[in-house]
Amino acid sequence: MKMAVLASGYGSNLQAIIDAIENGEINGKLEIVVSDKKDAYALERARRHHIEDHYINPKVFSVRDEFDRAVIALLQERKVDLVILAGFMRLLSPVFVNQFMGKIMNIHPSLLPSFPGLNGVEQALEYGVKVTGCTVHFLDEGLDTGPVILQDTVPVYESDTVETLHERIHSVEHRLYTRAIQLFSQGKLSIEGRKCIINEG
């Protein structure tokens, strides 16, 4: 299985994926890491592991679709089977989503459909929930609305800040994302309507 990661920032989920590949927990090869931020540390992580890194400047494109088509062309050249979003801060257009429908994964720091969009951790704290978590899902044209692949819970403590809660969610994200990617690589995921079915048999 050939994979691509799209990332805009620090890339801790990217690092967890790289580690899982190197440890044999994910059967596949990370072909390329693409970023819309020239100084994204995710690109440095790729270089350290001898993975192709590619920066695409969104400012040179007049419309969003043109940026997405440039990324599509890169991924098609490398015959990518799965696109993984790891802190990628741009909304992907329908052009991109339809090109890779059922082959784009995202991770979100809440138990969707609760607290979608930006600042899921802040939203959970402000709402006063006692339990939150993270969700790995397939991307569709909506905002965090695609079929849920895996979810796991994280308790919310009275003393939590955004930073402490985010840190605990991150540690769960790393394990959950690795598991979802491996299930995909094994052909154990299928989409029926808006549900993702895990075929363990």
CATH fold, domain 107-201, is: Rossmann fold (3.40.50)
Q: In terms of Cα–Cα distance, which of 157, 104, 101 is closest to 128?
A: 157
pTM of the entire predicted model: 0.96
**Would you state the structure tokens that stand for residue 159, as one six-digit string?**
């003393």
Same-fold call for 1-100 versus 107-201 = yes
* Known catalytic membership, residue 108: yes
Domain ranges of the chain: 1-100, 107-201
Q: Say if residues 77 and 2 touch (Cβ distance below 8 Å).
A: no
Q: Say if residues 118 and 91 touch (Cβ distance below 8 Å).
A: no
Distance CA 99, CA 26 (A): 24
Distance CA 130, CA 158 (A): 9
| Domain over 1-100 is classified CATH 3.40.50.170 | yes
pLDDT tens for each residue of the chain, 201 residues long:
999 999 999 999 999 999 999 999 999 999 999 999 999 999 999 999 999 999 999 999 999 899 999 999 999 999 999 999 999 999 999 999 999 999 999 999 999 999 999 999 999 999 999 999 999 999 999 999 999 999 999 999 999 999 999 999 999 999 999 999 999 999 999 999 999 999 986
pLDDT at 191: 96
Q: Out of 108, 137, 170, 174, pick the active-site residue.
A: 108
pLDDT at 74: 96
